Structure 1
Amino acid sequence: MVIRLDYGELEISLKALKKLAYIATVQTYGPVNISSDSFFGKLFGEKEEERIKVEELDTGKVLVDLYIELEYGVKVSEVAKNIIENVTHVLKTIGGCEDIEVNVHVTGIR
């Protein structure tokens, strides 16, 4: 992703955006585990950061998919809304992204 500044251009990698999304998700109340979306990921134990998908579309939009497990007893819709707001806020303020779509996939309850 390239951001144009007054004095030049700044390139931010998708790996950096993925790390920002991970930090924003972990800081939100409710998620217990960022879980893998695939059988092999669960079997071979992917790192939590690898369970977040970040891609930049041709239109410049940043698409974020999070696969998480939630704490038992929390309101799923409220936690998902908070995660979406936190990730969007962090990617806009720190990452410099303008157009962001965040999808939260709840894979389980613990």
Structure 2
Amino acid sequence: MTEERENGKIKIESDVVGMIAGLAAVDTDGVASMSGGITEGLAKRVSGKNVAKGVKVEVGETETAIDLRVIVKYGYKIHEVARNLQFNVKEAVESMTGLNVVEVNVHVEGVEIQKPEEEEKTEETTLRLK
């Protein structure tokens, strides 16, 4: 986005929009992490520090379109997580940048299955004994 003002230009880079979208996405309940894409493999999944991973943004003069690749936590209704994700990302990007978000496409690439803490402790103990 580039905006001409009498004092100069304001330009918002697509990386900035991607970072805002990524932060809003990982803050959405039910999202386990962002995904770098199926082609990058599950080893490339990221969360927290590199939230722009798994986010593709196209920015025009006044509008933007966003694609998100996410891993959803097991037990959550995927369609509800996706709807909430669309709303949260749209709200965050529009309020922080002034851009009109025309679409937020959500690609669910996996489900994260958490083991109960008791099982994890048992497995850790077993591994140490061997």
Q: CA 1:74/1:6 → structure 2, altered by over 3 Å: closer, same or farther?
A: farther
Q: CA 1:11/1:95 → structure 2, altered by over 3 Å: closer, same or farther?
A: same
Pairing 1:1-110 to 2, within 5 Å after superposition: 1-5=1-5, 7-39=7-39, 41-42=40-41, 45=44, 47-57=50-60, 60-110=62-112
Larger % of helix: which? 2
Aligned length: 108
Contact 2:25 2:85 in 1 (8 A): yes
Measure, in 2, the Cα distance between the counterparts of 1:86 and 1:43.
25
Contact 2:29 2:81 in 1 (8 A): yes
Measure, in 1, the Cα distance between the counterparts of 2:42 and 2:75.
27
Deviations 1:64-106 (A, max 9, x none): 0000010111011111111100100011100111243100000
Q: What amino acid is aligned across from residue 20 of structure 2 in structure 1? A: L
Q: What amino acid is aligned across from residue 27 of structure 1 in structure 2? A: D
Structure of larger gyration radius: 2
Measure, in 1, the Cα distance between the counterparts of 2:78 and 2:84.
10
For residue 5 of structure 1, report the CA deviation from its aligned partner. Answer: 4.9
Moved more, 16-25 or 94-103: 94-103
SS of equivalent residue, structure 2 residue 53 = helix
For residue 36 of structure 1, report the CA deviation from its aligned partner. Answer: 2.0
Q: CA 1:5/1:86 → structure 2, altered by over 3 Å: closer, same or farther?
A: farther
Q: CA 1:77/1:5 → structure 2, altered by over 3 Å: closer, same or farther?
A: farther
What root-mean-square deviation, in Å, do the aligned CA atoms of Structure 1 and Structure 2 show?
2.2
Measure, in 1, the Cα distance between the counterparts of 2:92 and 2:8.
23
